Amino acid sequence: MQPSTRLSILVFATSWLALAPTLNAQSQPQPSGPSPAAPAPPSPSVSIPDNKLDAVAAALKSVSMVKEDYEQRITQAPDSEKSRLADEGKQALTKAVTDQGLSVEEYSEILQVAQNNPAVREKILQRLK
């Protein structure tokens, strides 16, 4: 897999989960975040265990395959089936992550760190080779 492809998968996986409705919410109240004008908190030095990075890389591969599969299914499906397939796809994405021993929240957080931290991103990309 070429580096640009791996990076595309990483970026896609992050955006896919960010755009999908909260996959594991069970009518939990959402905490109110800081106001948009509030400065972002400084990011502490990040130390993500190797086993978590391994799990994220494996989940990224699975998420990529699920995404491709469901995009194709949804494109070819009649309009009446698209919503059901989208819901099924979201469940499959959740399973692709949780099968690696990660929660969707943990997976998303690590991918967010990887977007902002080149060292973490590189560690994940190395595992995708």
In-domain check, residue 88: yes
Establish if 53 belongs to a structural domain: yes
Task: Classify residue 35: in a domain, yes or no.
Answer: no
- Look at the chain and report how many structural domains it folds into: 1
Look-up: residue for tokens 């800081």?
A: 34
Chain segment 38-90, per-residue pLDDT in tens: 444 444 456 899 999 999 999 999 999 999 999 999 999 999 999 999 999 99
Q: Which domain holds residue 116?
A: 3-21+47-128
Alpha helices (runs of H) in 1-129, residue ranges in sequence order: 3-19, 50-76, 79-98, 104-116, 118-128
Is 62 within the bounds of a domain? yes
Residue 31 covered by a domain: no
Q: What is the pTM of this model?
A: 0.67
Sequence-distant (6+) residues with CB within 8 A of 96 are 59, 62, 63, 65, 66
Per-residue pLDDT band at 25 (split at 50, 70, 90): very low
